[in-house]
Amino acid sequence: MNPNYYNISYAESPFGTLNEYMTKTFGWMFAGLLVTFAVALATVTTGLIVPLYSSGLIWMTSIGELVLVMILSTRVMSLQPSTATGLFFGYAVLNGLNLSTLFVAYRFGTLILAFLVGAVYFGVMAVYGATTHKDLSGWGPKLFGGLVALIVCSLVGGLFSLLGFGFGFGDLLLCAVGLLLFMGITAYDTQMLRHHYAYFGGDAAMLQKSSIIGALNLYLDFINIFLYVVRLLGRRDN
């Protein structure tokens, strides 16, 4: 990362100022979250959740999510801005279908509390990432390594649970570690928005696409923070 990117003048960008770019990116993220939770709630209240799971279609939506994330992550820069935007909201819809089970597994009050707590955690780290003058680019490899380790441990824990072995404390520990990890990733991804703006500052189309991928990253950060908080708070519901 350019260590002097804080001093770059952004006034000439065809996409607007840095603050406008970041505001638009967070706007995409919040719009995606709104779509996801609206779809999840509608899936439960309309009864669509029953045929969705009984027919096995939920597996197709899960595969669809993975495909869309892979396309957005690897080919976003070759897509039209409108296509990238459509894929982002398509992912938000599919994720809403998959997250609809939360309204069945947990009390509504628990979900609301988890959303508020998750929003505070996310907000604090996003503000830190947006305002700190410390270069967080060095966090990237460490956070990625931690994410891989978390996934492996989660798979091992799931296997133990399937075999009938208790994993209560281990699951609690994984939730705590996962929460801290994604809080760090939130700060990192937020600062990367400034880096992307500095890099693509003269190209409105590239800025639009980098804004979408930035929104997707932040969206995933928030969703993961929310899910870990739900698991921590929801232990009292079970």
- The domain ranges of the chain are 16-236
Q: What is the pLDDT of residue 223?
A: 96
Q: Which long-range contacts (CB under 8 A, 24 or more apart) does 62-68 make?
A: 62/94, 62/98, 64/94, 65/91, 65/94, 65/95, 65/98, 68/94
Long-range contacts of 101-104 (CB under 8 A, 24+ apart): 101/49, 101/53, 102/40, 102/230, 103/40, 103/41, 103/44, 104/44, 104/49
d(C-alpha 205, C-alpha 119), whole Å:
30
pTM of the model: 0.86
pLDDT at 236: 59
Written as tens digits, the pLDDT of the chain (238 aa) is 444 444 444 445 556 788 889 999 999 999 999 999 999 999 999 999 999 888 888 889 989 998 998 888 888 778 888 898 999 999 999 999 999 999 888 998 999 999 999 999 999 999 999 999 899 988 988 999 988 988 888 777 666 666 555 556 667 888 889 999 999 999 999 999 998 888 887 777 888 888 999 999 999 999 999 999 998 887 655 5
Q: What pLDDT sits at residue 11?
A: 43
Count Cβ atoms within 10 A of the Cβ of residue 33 and give its class: 0-12 exposed, 13-18 middle, 19 or more buried.
buried
